[in-house]
């Protein structure tokens, strides 16, 4: 995530680069670009239009490109790599860790991915193919196979000598994993304990078994919840038989949390969190067209309901003025509940054990707010239009719609999820349709009954 100061620096660099492009001083640009750190370089690329982006990318050294790739969003990464031949791809990807490499390959077309895998040596190919066999949104899809493990019977002195044989430890190594002869996970040996304990002690004596390993098929959202709950820096991943497969580190979990937040925010507007801000016009228009079409259908449905009561609206023109109030209040109330439920589901706070209590709570809240605001709107309507009946009608319609909004807001995410549909994307459209239809139907239907 970029701070305000970092964003200002990016814009300043863009202005400087544009001037350099206009003057043709490419050597100066190359020196400046390769002097940036990888996250700053990635942010610079994502903040550049496609033509400038391609020029900047080609000015990066191959080694720098490898580091930058790990920080790019899916759209930008794919556009930069999809046109490269296999040899050029390998030169860029050869220095990337297996877990990051797997993430990158999953974004590329299958034919390109297979070409890259076939060109690898046997050891790297086996490692990458193993990671690719797991779904991207699971613990195994997040993990890195670069781990250090020891046996329980070893003394700490032996462990120290073993560690010194490494030129460096994997990033974010806060624990060494303890496994038995079958490579089954047994426990953790914290580095902090290792450094201050008597070297003659065995691993078994000081290892920790408090933190359970993470099953390979656990969803990435549940992994993020575990890291938050137990303040983890890294955690072991095991298969169904208990064998150690790899580890997940906090940097991967931060990416999951950020992507989840982006997904929830942008999904409600029909946008993808990996959309390129500077994508071409037709590509952007095509992606947004489906969402606009879906909303148009809901608008037609609401219009069809209004059309049913055309004669009533002609008789009482005030109905046309007041209709949006009923629909709007229901939409806002429903969105509040929907957003809360989606967030609680993502955090694992709502399930079968407490869903009925939560449903009753939201129903009561909807009824109370409905009664309060119905009274306010009824008084205002009666005073403005000098019609007590109209005030009573809109009050009744508002109570009905706010209760409906509460029911829909709680139920929709659970129903959509049970059918494999993402509630963050589809929930808003369906909810808007329900509150509009019920709002118009109740208001105009009651008006038809009373004014007929």
**Mean pLDDT, rounded, of the chain:** 85
Q: How, if at all, do strands 234-238 and 214-215 pair?
A: parallel
Sign of CA dihedral 333, 337, 342, 344: positive
* 4-23 and 26-34 helices, crossing angle to 10°: 160
Q: What is the pLDDT of residue 185?
A: 96
Alpha-carbon gap, residue 140 to 131, rounded angstroms: 7
CB 313 within 8 A of CB 425: no
281-318 pLDDT, tens digit per residue, is: 787 787 778 777 877 888 899 899 999 998 888 888 89
Q: How, if at all, do strands 185-190 and 214-215 pair?
A: unpaired
Can you give the pTM of this predicted structure?
0.68
Fold of 281-451: Tetracycline Repressor; domain 2 (1.10.357)
Q: What is the pLDDT of residue 273?
A: 57
Give the residue from 300, 415, 409 showing the smallest Cα distance to 358. Answer: 409
Alpha-carbon gap, residue 53 to 30, rounded angstroms: 13
Q: Is the pLDDT of residue 1 over 60?
A: no
Residue partners of 86: CB distance under 8 A and separation at least 6? 112, 115, 116, 119
Q: What is the pLDDT of residue 20?
A: 65
11-52 pLDDT, tens digit per residue, is: 676 676 666 666 666 677 777 777 788 888 888 888 888 888
Give the residue from 357, 339, 186, 185 showing the smallest Cα distance to 264. Answer: 339
SS3 198: coil
Under CATH, to which class is 149-250 assigned?
Answer: alpha beta
350-408 pLDDT, tens digit per residue, is: 877 788 899 999 999 999 999 999 999 999 999 999 999 999 999 999 999 999 999 99
Q: b vs e for 181-213, b when ≥16 Cβ sit within 10 Å of the residue's Cβ?
A: eeeebbbbbeeebbeeeeeeeebeebbeeeeeb
CA distances from 371 to 54, 365, 411 (A): 59, 10, 22
Q: Which residue has the higher pLDDT, 34 or 8?
A: 34
Residue 17 backbone phi and psi in degrees, to 5: -70, -40
Q: Where are the domains of the chain?
A: 4-138, 149-250, 281-451
Fold of 4-138: MgtE N-terminal fold (1.25.60)
Which residue's entry shows tokens 């407490």? 354
Q: Which residue has the higher pLDDT, 324 or 19?
A: 324
Give the residue from 297, 362, 305, 376 showing the smallest Cα distance to 333. Answer: 362
Which residue's entry shows tokens 């065995």? 202
Give the residue from 146, 171, 167, 149 showing the smallest Cα distance to 159. Answer: 149
63-120 pLDDT, tens digit per residue, is: 888 888 888 887 888 888 877 777 777 778 877 777 778 878 887 778 878 888 888 8
Residue partners of 48: CB distance under 8 A and separation at least 6? 14, 17, 56, 278
CB 409 within 8 A of CB 336: yes
């Amino acid at each position: 995530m970029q701070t305000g100061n970092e964003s200002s620096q990016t814009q300043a660099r863009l202005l400087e680069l544009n001037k350099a492009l206009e003057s043709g001083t490419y050597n100066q640009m190359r020196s400046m670009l390769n002097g940036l750190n990888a996250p700053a370089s990635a942010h610079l690329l994502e903040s550049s239009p496609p033509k400038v982006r391609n020029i900047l990318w080609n000015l990066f050294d191959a080694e720098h490109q490898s580091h930058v790739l790990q920080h790019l969003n899916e759209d930008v990464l794919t556009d930069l790599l999809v046109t490269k031949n296999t040899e050029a791809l390998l030169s860029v990807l050869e220095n990337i860790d297996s877990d990051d490499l797997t993430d990158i390959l999953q974004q590329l077309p299958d034919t390109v991915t297979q070409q890259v895998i076939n060109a690898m040596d046997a050891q790297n190919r086996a490692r990458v193919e193993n990671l690719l066999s797991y779904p991207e949104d699971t613990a195994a899809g997040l993990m890195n196979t670069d781990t250090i493990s020891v046996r329980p019977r070893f003394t700490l002195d032996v462990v120290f000598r073993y560690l010194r044989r490494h030129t460096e430890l994997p990033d974010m190594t806060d624990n060494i994993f303890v496994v038995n002869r079958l490579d089954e996970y047994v426990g953790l040996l914290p580095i902090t304990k290792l450094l201050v304990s008597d070297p003659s002690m065995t691993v078994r004596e000081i290892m920790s078994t408090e933190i359970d390993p993470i099953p390979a098929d656990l969803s990435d959202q549940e992994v993020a919840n575990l890291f938050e709950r137990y303040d983890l820096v890294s955690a072991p991943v095991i298969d169904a038989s208990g064998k150690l497969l790899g580890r997940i580190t906090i940097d991967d979990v931060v990416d999951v949390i950020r992507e989840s937040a982006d997904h929830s925010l942008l999904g409600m507007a029909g946008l993808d969190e990996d959309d390129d801000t500077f994508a071409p016009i037709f590509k952007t228009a095509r992606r947004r067209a489906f969402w606009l079409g879906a909303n148009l259908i809901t608008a037609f449905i609401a219009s069809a309901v209004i059309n049913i009561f055309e004669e009533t609206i002609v008789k009482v023109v005030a109905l046309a003025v007041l209709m949006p109030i009923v629909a709007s209040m229901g939409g806002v109330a429903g969105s509040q509940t929907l957003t809360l439920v989606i967030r609680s589901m993502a955090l694992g706070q709502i399930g079968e054990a407490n869903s009925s209590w939560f449903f009753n709570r939201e129903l009561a809240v909807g009824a109370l707010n409905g009664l309060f605001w119905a009274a306010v709107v009824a008084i205002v309507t009666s005073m403005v239009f000098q019609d007590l009946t109209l005030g009573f009608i809109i009050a009744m319609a508002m109570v009905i719609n706010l209760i409906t909004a509460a029911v829909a807001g709680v139920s929709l995410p659970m129903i959509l999820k049970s059918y494999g549909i993402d509630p963050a994307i589809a929930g808003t459209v369906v909810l808007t349709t329900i509150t509009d239809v019920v709002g118009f139907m109740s208001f105009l239907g009651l008006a038809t009954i009373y004014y007929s």
